[in-house]
């Protein structure tokens, strides 16, 4: 009887233990707790409604590039050029070139780079709607690497001009143009640096450039660099690409370009102060090669007859070392200083003629219009 009582007690204990275990919530099968959410918050992920504000500070959100490109694209043109050439055996041939441009005026005025249209025999402009025009006129400025071409068209969608002085490093930009001559396309990037100067040839440099990591390829030259409002802030103009180095794209800031563009439209050329001397940067190698008295400055390689430099007695072989008492170390520096002056202003030019150091007063005149 005692054994039966013990066995019955064990059965009751096992039953109570199993029952208690079954009453516990399962870790894998427990129902999801219900959470009350505020009326403005959705319990399930969904796309933001058009009326909902977008948190632009969120790193997971990207700008609306689609709208930017759709706004700008109709104002961008493809430029095709024909370049005459001479073959190995003297035979004549033509070579096709490609570039980009953008509409600045509804009546057929288009801005591009000088190097896109320089030295070509024919310039053709293709609009976004497929229409093609030959140019009626081409006005260029090699110093700023800018050009304005005119086509016989009206009612074109002019691009809105922005304020490049308000750009900041890190801002999004879009480069649009006729990349590789394959039609209008777009690339995105950010502003990498501002106010960059870039030497493009002996004695010449481009200043106030916007550096961007947006891909800029051959054919993009002359096309616009725009901000997220669809406003042009720069004109794509140059690209540096070296082995082992990521390409850096450059655009002339619209702030620097606009005065030049306005003069090209008004006069057909840019009025600039004129010294009348071709210059080449002096370094130690140049100084040894030509036996110069100094190893820094701007070597005069040619002087235009009747120019201010000619009248002041400056000769080929002289080296300009200072202007208005400020030392200059390159041809680019001389050019930059001259461009900061006005026609009719007088400057003090210090130069070496052989080993003799001289300083003369020179009154700058107006540069002759391009032939």
Q: Give how far the C-alpha of residue 120 lies from the chain's centroid of Cα atoms, to the nearest Å.
A: 24
Q: Please give the pLDDT value at position 368.
A: 84
Active site residue 115: yes
pLDDT at 365 over 90: yes
Q: Please give the pLDDT value at position 201.
A: 66
Q: Please give the pLDDT value at position 28.
A: 41
User: For residue 114, what pLDDT band results from cuts at 50, 70 and 90?
Assistant: very high
- Write the CATH number of the domain with boundaries 70-85+94-150: 2.40.10.10
Residue with the bigger pLDDT between 143 and 87: it is 143
Q: Please give the pLDDT value at position 197.
A: 84
pLDDT at 1 over 60: no
Say which of 221, 237, 253, 330 is annotated catalytic. 221
Backbone angles phi, psi at 60, to 5 degrees: -85, -10
Q: Which fold has domain 273-366?
A: Pdz3 Domain (2.30.42)
Active site residue 134: no
Q: In sequence order, which ranges of the chain are alpha helices (DSSP H)?
A: 2-23, 65-72, 114-117, 254-267, 284-290, 308-311, 331-339
Q: Please give the pLDDT value at position 110.
A: 97
Q: Please give the pLDDT value at position 244.
A: 55
Average pLDDT over residues 146-153: 96
The encoded tokens of residue 257 equal 């370009």
pLDDT at 310 over 50: yes
Lowest mean pLDDT among 75-89, 101-115, 191-205, 247-261: 191-205
Say which of 115, 164, 185, 253 is annotated catalytic. 115
Q: Please give the pLDDT value at position 255.
A: 95
Q: Please give the pLDDT value at position 94.
A: 76
**In this structure, are residues 303 and 310 in contact, taking their beta carbons and an 8 Å threshold?**
yes
Total length of the chain? 371
Say which of 141, 145, 253, 318 is annotated catalytic. 145
**In this structure, are residues 281 and 298 in contact, taking their beta carbons and an 8 Å threshold?**
yes
CA 185 → CA 76, 118, 172, 248, distances in Å? 10, 24, 17, 18
Rounded distance between C-alpha atoms, residue 261 and residue 267, angstroms: 10
Q: Please give the pLDDT value at position 203.
A: 56
**In this structure, are residues 303 and 315 in contact, taking their beta carbons and an 8 Å threshold?**
yes
DSSP symbols for 311-331: HTT--TT-EEEEETTEE--SH
In the chain, % helix, strand, coil (3-state, to 5) comes to: 20, 40, 40
Residue with the bigger pLDDT between 223 and 181: it is 223
- Give the whole-number percent of the chain exceeding pLDDT 90: 60
What are the tens digits of pLDDT across the range 340-361? Answer: 899 999 999 999 999 999 999 9
Q: Please give the pLDDT value at position 55.
A: 42
Active site residue 145: yes
Average pLDDT over residues 176-198: 91
Average pLDDT over residues 105-133: 93
| Domain 164-267 classification at class level | mainly beta
**Which distant-in-sequence residues (6+ apart) come within 8 Å of 200 by Cβ?**
145, 206, 238
Lowest mean pLDDT among 21-25, 163-167, 315-319: 21-25
Q: Please give the pLDDT value at position 13.
A: 42
Q: Are both 70-85+94-150 and 273-366 of the same fold?
A: no
Rounded distance between C-alpha atoms, residue 357 and residue 21, angstroms: 105
Q: Where are the domains of the chain?
A: 70-85+94-150, 164-267, 273-366
The encoded tokens of residue 248 equal 């850096």
pLDDT at 60 over 60: no
What are the tens digits of pLDDT across the range 76-110? Answer: 999 999 887 766 666 677 788 899 999 999 999 99
Rounded distance between C-alpha atoms, residue 39 and residue 147, angstroms: 58
**In this structure, are residues 133 and 152 in contact, taking their beta carbons and an 8 Å threshold?**
yes
């Amino acid at each position: 009887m005692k054994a039966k009582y013990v066995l019955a007690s064990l059965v009751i204990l096992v039953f109570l233990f199993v029952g208690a275990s079954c009453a516990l919530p399962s870790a894998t099968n427990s129902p999801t707790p219900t959470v009350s959410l505020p009326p403005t918050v959705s319990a399930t992920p969904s796309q933001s409604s058009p009326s909902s504000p977008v948190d632009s500070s969120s790193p997971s959100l990207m700008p609306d590039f689609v709208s930017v490109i759709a706004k700008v694209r109709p104002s961008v043109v493809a430029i095709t050029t024909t370049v005459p050439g001479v073959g190995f055996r003297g035979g004549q041939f033509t070579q096709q070139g490609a570039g980009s441009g953008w509409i600045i005026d509804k009546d057929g005025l288009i801005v591009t780079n000088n190097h896109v249209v320089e030295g070509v025999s024919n310039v053709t402009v293709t609009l976004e709607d497929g229409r093609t025009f030959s140019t009626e006129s081409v006005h260029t400025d090699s110093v700023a690497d800018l050009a304005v071409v005119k086509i016989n068209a009206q009612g074109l969608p002019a691009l809105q001009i922005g304020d490049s002085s308000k750009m900041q490093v890190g801002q999004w930009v879009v480069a649009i143009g006729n990349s590789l001559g394959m039609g209008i396309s777009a690339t995105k990037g950010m502003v990498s640096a501002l106010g960059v100067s870039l030497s493009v040839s002996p004695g010449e440099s481009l200043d106030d450039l916007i550096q961007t990591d947006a891909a800029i390829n051959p054919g993009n030259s002359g096309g616009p660099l725009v901000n997220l409002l669809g406003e042009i802030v720069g004109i794509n103009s140059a690209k540096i690409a070296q082995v082992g180095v990521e390409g850096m794209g450059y655009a002339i800031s619209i702030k620097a370009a606009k005065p030049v563009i306005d003069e090209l439209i008004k006069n057909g050329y840019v009025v600039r102060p004129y010294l009348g001397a071709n210059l080449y940067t002096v370094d130690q190698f140049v100084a040894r090669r030509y036996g110069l008295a100094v190893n820094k400055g701007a070597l005069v390689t040619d002087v235009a007859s009747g120019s201010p430099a000619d009248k002041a007695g400056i000769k080929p072989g002289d080296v300009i070392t200072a202007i208005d008492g400020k030392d200059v170390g390159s041809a680019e520096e001389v050019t930059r200083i001259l461009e900061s002056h006005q026609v009719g202003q007088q400057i003090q030019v210090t130069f070496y003629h052989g080993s003799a150091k001289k300083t003369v007063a020179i009154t700058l005149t107006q540069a002759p219009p391009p032939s």
